[in-house]
Amino acid sequence: MTTISFNDSIENLMHELSFENSNEVVKEPLATEILARIASFKSETNHFEEKYGNSFEEVKRDYEAGEEKFEVYDDLMAWQFAEEGLRYWKKKLEELRRVL
């Protein structure tokens, strides 16, 4: 693991900006970026849930039981990517909370 050291000027500036410690300086921008990604993936999953009126699992099950429709297949691939991205970034946010 890499350790970052700050000189006194940076430390003073961090305190003037109301950061409690250097971990906060790192944690806040990382958390903000992760939350933005979570919001983006959540927006995409919501779009598909509204479009199809069901969960990913239900739409996938119905698709696999019926005849092939290319638009539904393409949506399922994008939806699956969004679901996986959402889970991944939620996990990373929890990791960030644990380590900092």
Between CA 86 and CA 96 the distance in angstroms is 15
pLDDT at 25: 85
Provide the residue range defining the domain that includes 69: 26-99
Residue 11 lies in a domain: no
Give the number of domains in the chain: 1
pLDDT averaged per 10 residues in sequence order, the chain, 100 residues: 78 87 86 98 98 97 96 98 98 92
| pTM score, whole prediction | 0.82
Neighbouring C-beta atoms of residue 81, cutoff 10 Å: 13
Residue 54 lies in a domain: yes
Between CA 54 and CA 4 the distance in angstroms is 47
Query: Please, which residues have CB within 8 angstroms of residue 32's CB and are 6 or more apart in sequence?
Result: none
pLDDT at 34: 98
